[in-house]
Amino acid sequence: MENKAFTYSLKWQLPLGIVFALLNIAVNYLQNFNPVPLYMDTIFTISASFFGGACGVISALLYHITTTVIYAKVPMWSLVWAICSLTIVLIIRVYIKIRKKIEITDLILLVFLISLIVSVEGATIFTVLNVFTGYKEDSQVKFMYALLSSNSVSVFISALLPRVPVNILDKAISVCIGWLCFSGVSKIIPPANKA
């Protein structure tokens, strides 16, 4: 598949970033009624990232600001979790810049790259929040975290080990849906060099 990701102008990236953020918020909202043991918070940030860096950053930040400040009404320090979404944007954009095209094997590699990096990052963020704010695990990995930490496993390892399989499954779904969204929208809104 030819790389079309670098050819979208800001005039498309800005509105698409907002639309993808709203779609992420909708998925988050639906999780309240039918929870699944996955994060499912980056599906459309991944879609947005294929269109461009600005699109991905807008989608990630708008999603996190909205769900933290307005929707979830959690402490402001919870915005630190946006780092994981911004890392995903960076991974996709750097990967596309280096690779120049996306094929099935690239999607598989992206799933594992994103999953492993974000798992380490998420465990690090959790560990820091736990030490400085007394943050307790309330995500999809809380049972495994509780099991490991109650058996004298360090906070970081207890936070990391359950995140890896959850992130692999979560990011496999998110990368596939994200790529399909990008592929579909790019047929409706052609890249700048084909418009």
Measuring CA to CA, how many Å separate 25 from each of 43, 67, 71, 84, 178? 10, 7, 9, 16, 15
Per-residue pLDDT of 107-136, as tens digits, reads 999 999 999 999 999 999 999 998 998 888
Q: What is the pTM of this model?
A: 0.90
Is residue 122 within 8 A of residue 163, CB to CB? The reply is: yes
pLDDT band (50, 70, 90) for residue 2 = very low
Number of domains composing the chain:
1
pLDDT of residue 63: 93
Total length of the chain = 195
Q: Which two tokens stand for residue 44?
A: 């459309």
Contacts of 35 (CB under 8 A, 6+ apart): none
pLDDT of residue 20: 96
Name the residue range of residue 154's domain: 5-194
**Which CATH number does the domain housing residue 133 bear?**
1.10.1760
| Buried b / exposed e along 13-32 (16+ C-beta atoms within 10 A) | beebbebbbebbbebbeeee
What residues are paired with 2 via a beta bridge?
Answer: 101
Per-residue pLDDT of 33-83, as tens digits, reads 777 767 778 899 999 999 999 999 999 999 999 988 887 677 888 899 999
pLDDT of residue 7: 67
Does pLDDT of 100 surpass 90? Answer: no
Task: Name residue, tokens 């990236």.
Answer: 13
